[in-house]
Amino acid sequence: MDRSERRTLSSITGKVIMALAGLFLVVFLLVHLGINLLLLADDGGRAFTGAATFMATNPVIRIAEVVLFGGFLIHMMFGVGVSIRNRRSRPVRYQHKSKSETSPLSKYMLHSGIIVFIFLVLHFIDFYFIKVGLVAPPAGIERHDFYHRSLLLFADKGYSAVYLVGFLFLGFHLNHAVQAAFQTIGMNHSKYIDGIKVFSMLYAIIVAGGFMTIPLWFILFR
């Protein structure tokens, strides 16, 4: 190990940790989407509030929440770390723009990831900080009343636009991410890889589309 720095984790292990954290987030998104879609039920928010209360009080979920934050943190730390190392590995860059064919949007994972991160920060301020009491809820809405909080936010066209853009980029991220994660953990085989790629795209469309349906629904039908 002469020419460059010694490292504590090999490149492959680092990427596998990142991919596993990413796949964990992929599962979490499905749960989150399932609960959010209850917002569309025409029951004055009973189903949604029930689910939100369960998520806010169940002890198992409380522990899962810590794991979730850990998952995001690990994924982002490795993502940024890997991206920095990758940039350094080509100190002198080409004069001509690369014309090589690549997997769609795979070169922009850091960019789409950062946009998702910005959205996450807003999301935290809007919901989590209010829930834990760091930020005061808007007038007339109780701290744990996510239903009316959501309705109020979606009534704001600007907020809905930011929300839609955030999820559009999450969709771009996921389209490449899910199939890439399988490749990273070594699950690429001519027998099933085409299936995984289709699954990755469908997952991205369903999750991004699912979340985006909610503000669109409020704009169009309420």
Q: Which residues contribute to the site for ligand HEM (CB under 6 A)?
A: 15, 18-19, 22-23, 25-26, 29, 75-76, 79-80, 82-83, 109-110, 113-114, 116-117, 173, 177-178, 180-181, 184
Q: How many residues of this chain interact with another protein, rule: CB under 8 A?
A: 49
Q: Is the Cβ of residue 49 or residue 196 nearer to ligand HEM in the bound state?
A: 196
Q: Is 12 in the site for another protein (CB under 8 A)?
A: yes
Q: Is 50 in the site for another protein (CB under 8 A)?
A: no
Q: Is 188 in the site for another protein (CB under 8 A)?
A: yes
Q: Is the Cβ of residue 4 or residue 42 nearer to another protein in the bound state?
A: 4
Residue 1 binds: one of another protein, ligand HEM, none (C-beta under 5 to 8 A by kind): another protein
Q: Is 180 in the site for another protein (CB under 8 A)?
A: yes
* Shortest CB 72 distance to another protein, Å: 19
Q: How far apart are CA 52 and CA 35, in angstroms?
A: 8
Among 42, 94, 133, 220, binds another protein (CB under 8 A): 94
